[in-house]
Structure 1
Amino acid sequence: MDVDQALELLKDQGYKYTGKREEMIRVFAKEKRYMSAKEILDYMKPDYPNISFDTIYRNLSLFTELHILEETEFNNERKYRFSCAHKDHHHHLICLRCGKTKHLKLCPLDGLLGDPDDFTITDHKFEIYGYCQQCE
């Protein structure tokens, strides 16, 4: 997903265009990492000094619901990133310090379970946390 696709999706779903929404989407597109609501607030404060956490959280929730953003939780905090461009089944390595992610092409669940009898897996999430080379 890119900025234009995200804005088009908002429009197609009947949501109003605002400069704040576009700026939030641009921040995620630029940063390419998991970010907290506080980081987004700090990023946007210079251009929108009256922006509130409520506005940030409302839009993060909307963007997640529309699959513009992905969310996860680490360091006891919910974090968000632009939805992954990879549409195939995959998982991520996530840096605990900077929030950058790396695409993991294999699925560890395949080796653990294979195709279990009498159970249909509809979804799962597997994330590996650590430190990228720059943050070590």
Structure 2
Amino acid sequence: MNLQEAITILKEKGYKTTGKRKEILEFFSSEDGYRPAKDLIAHLENKYGAVSFDTIYRNLHLYHDLGILEKTDLEGEKHFRLSCSHHHHHHFICTDCGKTKEIEMCPMETASAELKNYEIDDHKFEIYGKCPTCLHA
């Protein structure tokens, strides 16, 4: 998803696209991978001064609920990235820098076979480790 697609989704769902909301989207569109809220807050404070932690988190969760942002947990902290859900895939996530690499395979066929009498609502598959850059740093 690109910045304009994200803004279009906000408008179509009836949300105002304020300067700070656009700035949040611009931050994630310029990042390559998952970023914690504290990185976003530091970025916004450099531009606007003090920002409300609650307001930032409300917007992050709104963007997630609208499908604009994806989220994951890294070391007990929520991290976000601009959604790339043009097709079904999963991610390798670097635990040092947060960069991601798409993984095209999906384990659901195997899992579904083992869960024949269960109803599956959703799934998430991520692999964590170090990217080549962080591994050799």
Flag whether TM exceeds 0.5 (same fold): yes
Unaligned runs of 5+ in 2: none
Normalized per residue, the structure richer in helix is 2
Residues 9, 113 of structure 1: alpha-carbon distance in 2 compared, 3 angstrom cutoff:
closer
* Map of 1:66 onto structure 2: 66
One-letter amino acid of the counterpart of residue 32, structure 1: D
Q: Is the 8 A contact 1:32 1:82 kept in 2?
A: no
Instruction: Quote how far apart the aligned CAs of 1:121 are.
Output: 2.5
CA distance in structure 2 between the partners assigned to 1:9 and 1:117 by the alignment: 36
Unaligned runs of 5+ in 1: none
Q: Which deviations, in whole Å up to 9, do the C-alpha atoms of 1:56-101 show, x marking residues without a partner?
A: 11110110110100111011101000001432x2211000011111
CA distance in structure 2 between the partners assigned to 1:39 and 1:20 by the alignment: 15
* Map of 1:36 onto structure 2: 36
Pair 1:92 & 2:80 matched? no
CA distance in structure 2 between the partners assigned to 1:75 and 1:13 by the alignment: 33
TM-score normalised to structure 1 length: 0.91
Q: What is the root-mean-square deviation in Å for CA atoms of aligned residues? A: 1.5
Q: Aligned pair count?
A: 135
CA distance in structure 1 between the partners assigned to 2:27 and 2:77 by the alignment: 19
* Map of 1:118 onto structure 2: 117
Map 1:5-20 onto structure 2 (within 5 A).
5-20=5-20
Spell out structure 1 runs of 4+ moving beyond 6 A: none
Identity %: 46
* Map of 2:80 onto structure 1: 80
